[in-house]
Amino acid sequence: MSDEKMESDCYDPAKVTPALQLDVEQFYYREARLLDNRQYQSWLALCSEAIHYVMPARTNPLVDNSERGNESMISIERELEGADSTGTPIRNETYPYLMLRVERSFKPNAWAENPPARTRRIVGNIEILDVQDDRLSVTSAFHLHYSRPGSENFLYAGQRRDVLLRGEDGYKILDRVIIMDVAEIVLPTLGLFL
Amino acid sequence: MSISIADVVNDDATLISRRAWSDPELYELEKRGIFGKAWLFLAHESQIRESGDFVQAYMGETPIIVSRGPDGAVYANINSCSHRGLPVCRSDHGNTTKFVCPYHNWNYDVTGKLVAIPQERHVKGRPDKSKLGLKAVPRVESWNGMIFGSFDPEIESLDDFLGDMRFYLDAFFARFPQGIEFYGAPQRWKINANWKLPVENQLGDVNHGPFLHAAVIPPEANAEVFELGLSVVPKPGHGATFRLMPEDAPVESVAWGFEGMATLLGGAEVQDYLREIQAQAKERVGPLRSRMKGLTYGVYPNLSFLWSNTAFKVSHPRGPGQVEYWSWSVVPADAPDDFKKIMRGNHTAFFGPGGILEQEDSEAWVQQFQGSKIDYAEDRPYFYGLGLGEEQERSDMPGLVSVTANEFYARHFFRRWRGALEAAQG
């Protein structure tokens, strides 16, 4: 990676102040608490009605020999088949789909969650990459412990790439791309709120 | 000593032992009698259009490379080097001129022919490379772009194997001016269940919908299935379910329904496109098939077509207790790319590893495998007798036809399964 690239990759202290970092971290901690407490209706209130919620598929592409020696040769982006790809993302949803999922969660015949899973997520590496007016680009990493009666325990790991919208009543999630770090999907569901 | 298959599936297949789902010895017989014999789905030609294009596939547990040769033909080879057995291809899909084994760099071309053994120049003898290519799948045939392979060189033609199933598949394929294509790579995930339950689920078991999926599927959608739904067995082991819509049904109600949520949210343009397709359906597929609004299909042994959410699926066995499930989005080939992206949402939102509906299915399949392993229930085989003998022939469509609650599709599948396993026992 060139020096310029390194520089542009660092946060701008004029935009990302300690107060802003604290504010954004608190948002993510609260979001994690709501999700682990199964307060999905409260969580949905953190989503913009214009939300685009995507979990790209992750494939194993051929290595391009001409990229040999460059970081781009093994870049994660090459593996992702997201919303704009001609592949099939695992999830590619808007607000009505998230609403449907939230409604489902509070019905006793949502059998995959009866009894409900016990989850605990640790959200970290919260990095504010850019601030443009009322929009913040933020990446974070998560580990999620998932446990259901009668099942094994599972560890989910991934990255979230968000665009947060700052408004009068706090932040709303406008865009979320979830990069799952699993090569073989042996997890019981990727239909969770992540 | 060897199992009596007649003790596992009774003569009319109304009773099926729990062992059918969990017994390792039966699984070995399935590998020989079913996955070593039948036509197995490999890929769709739209995935390998150009010379050098390839995708990975499986035949049972055996990894296969499906590729397009420079001669335009389709090749299917086992992904295992003739020298020490390593896979020569590690990518899911791509375009290449050669497959190279990492261990000693034996080189194969895209047709599977061995072209180079780098270390042979250091020895005096030259191995006969023509005998050391990748092991080719002995039979490869296509129907309507669907590529199948079989390990049985003597197997009947793919056309005969599919038989009248083609009539029902074409009700979808031929609806579109240029047929269909597979949109990108499949979603792939593992489920701790037996491979046959996902198959049975799609083969004809639409009746679990109102119960297992009651949290999501609205009652009016279920009512439509009960009132207008038909289940067909065109040939034992295959199955098709659909709603036969009234002749005066509004075009929208046939072109998309509840399961077309992505289309419903996708805007007027994609809806106009589908309205137009449906308006032309009578011309393309005839008056009867134009009224078909598909639900789920199954092609023996492990290919499924979820017409309602436009996905093809394969249930790859990984031992008796695990499935590697593959699921492709299927779109009309002639549609503009942005419509294709909208329509694939009917698949991804509801099915696949993150699907709203699929999570309930996976849960049921995992729990059924648990139930199939429990002790002290040997005398309580599963009941497959619903609707016994109620299926009938109809003059306007091929095969045996009945209401969707009739489990005849499964009885036919298991009778074929029983015959295949008995043949494998010899």
pLDDT tens digits, B211-250: 999 999 989 889 999 999 999 999 999 999 999 999 999 9
The domain boundary residue, chosen from B85, B109, B142: B142
Q: Are residues B417 and B341 in the same domain?
A: yes
Please tell me the predicted confidence (pLDDT) of residue A6.
45
Determine the residue type at B195.
Answer: W
Q: Are residues B128 and B199 in the same domain?
A: no
As a whole number of Å, the end-to-end CA separation of chain A is 31
Q: Is the pLDDT of residue A138 over 60?
A: yes
What range defines the domain where residue B348 resides?
Answer: 163-425
pLDDT band at B2 (very low <50, low <70, confident <90, very high): confident
The count of domains in chain B is: 2
CATH number of the domain that B67 lies in?
Answer: 2.102.10.10
Tokens matching residue A181: 């770090």
The number of angstroms, rounded, from the C-alpha of A183 to the middle of its chain's C-alpha atoms is 17
Please tell me the predicted confidence (pLDDT) of residue B1.
55
Whole-structure pTM value: 0.96
Please write the tens of the pLDDT for every residue from B335-382: 999 999 999 999 999 999 999 999 999 999 999 999 999 999 989 999
pLDDT band at A150 (very low <50, low <70, confident <90, very high): confident
Please indicate, yes or no, if residue B25 is contained in any of the structural domains. Answer: no
Domains and CATH numbers, chain A: 3-55+95-180 (3.10.450.50)
Q: Which residues pair with B296 in a beta bridge?
A: B306
- ipTM of predicted complex: 0.94
Please write the tens of the pLDDT for every residue from B158-174: 999 999 999 999 999 99
3-state helix, strand and coil shares in percent for chain A, rounded to the nearest 5: 30, 35, 35
Per-position DSSP letters for B320-333, written without gaps between them: TT-EEEEEEEEEET
Over residues A114-141, the mean pLDDT reads: 97
pLDDT band at B255 (very low <50, low <70, confident <90, very high): confident
To which H or E segment does residue A44 belong?
helix A40-44
Q: Are residues B247 and B331 in the same domain?
A: yes
Cα-flanking dihedrals φ and ψ of residue B62, to 5°?
-90, 125
Please write the tens of the pLDDT for every residue from A151-191: 889 999 999 999 999 999 999 999 999 999 999 999 999 99
Please indicate, yes or no, if residue B406 is contained in any of the structural domains. Answer: yes
The domain boundary residue, chosen from B142, B176, B204: B142
Closest CA to A59 of B176, B231, B270, B92: B92
Using a pLDDT cut of 90, give the percent of chain B over it: 94
Please indicate, yes or no, if residue B35 is contained in any of the structural domains. Answer: no
Q: Establish if A102 touches chain B: CB-CB under 8 angstroms.
A: no
Q: Do the beta carbons of residue A79 and residue A158 sit within 8 Å? A: no
Contact B265 A96 (CB under 8 A): yes
The domain boundary residue, chosen from B142, B174, B208: B142
**Spatial distance between the Cα atoms of A29 and B209, rounded to a whole number of angstroms:** 38
Instruction: Name every chain B residue with its beta carbon within 8 A of the beta carbon of A57.
Output: 184-185, 187
Q: Are residues B301 and B400 in the same domain?
A: yes
Q: Which DSSP symbol is given to A62? A: P
Contact B363 A112 (CB under 8 A): yes
Place of tokens 């989005």: B329
Please indicate, yes or no, if residue B280 is contained in any of the structural domains. Answer: yes
Instruction: Name every chain A residue with its beta carbon within 8 A of the beta carbon of B347.
Output: 88
Q: Which DSSP symbol is given to B377? A: -
3-state helix, strand and coil shares in percent for chain B, rounded to the nearest 5: 35, 25, 40
pLDDT band at A4 (very low <50, low <70, confident <90, very high): very low
Please tell me the predicted confidence (pLDDT) of residue A149.
86
Place of tokens 């031929």: B174
Please indicate, yes or no, if residue B31 is contained in any of the structural domains. Answer: no
Q: Is the pLDDT of residue A5 over 70?
A: no
Place of tokens 């038909």: B230
CA R_g for chain B = 22
Q: Is the peptide bond before B177 cis (omega within 30 degrees of 0)?
A: no
Q: Are residues B254 and B313 in the same domain?
A: yes
**Spatial distance between the Cα atoms of B231 and B200, rounded to a whole number of angstroms:** 13
Q: Are residues B131 and B206 in the same domain?
A: no
CATH number of the domain that B232 lies in?
Answer: 3.90.380.10
Please tell me the predicted confidence (pLDDT) of residue A10.
84
Contact B360 A107 (CB under 8 A): no
Q: Which residues neighbour B172 within 8 Å (Cβ) at sequence distance 6 or greater?
A: B180, B294, B305, B307
Q: Are residues B68 and B189 in the same domain?
A: no
The mean pLDDT value of chain A amounts to 93
Q: Name the A residues in 112-171 with CB < 8 Å from any B CB.
A: 112, 150
Please tell me the predicted confidence (pLDDT) of residue A8.
63
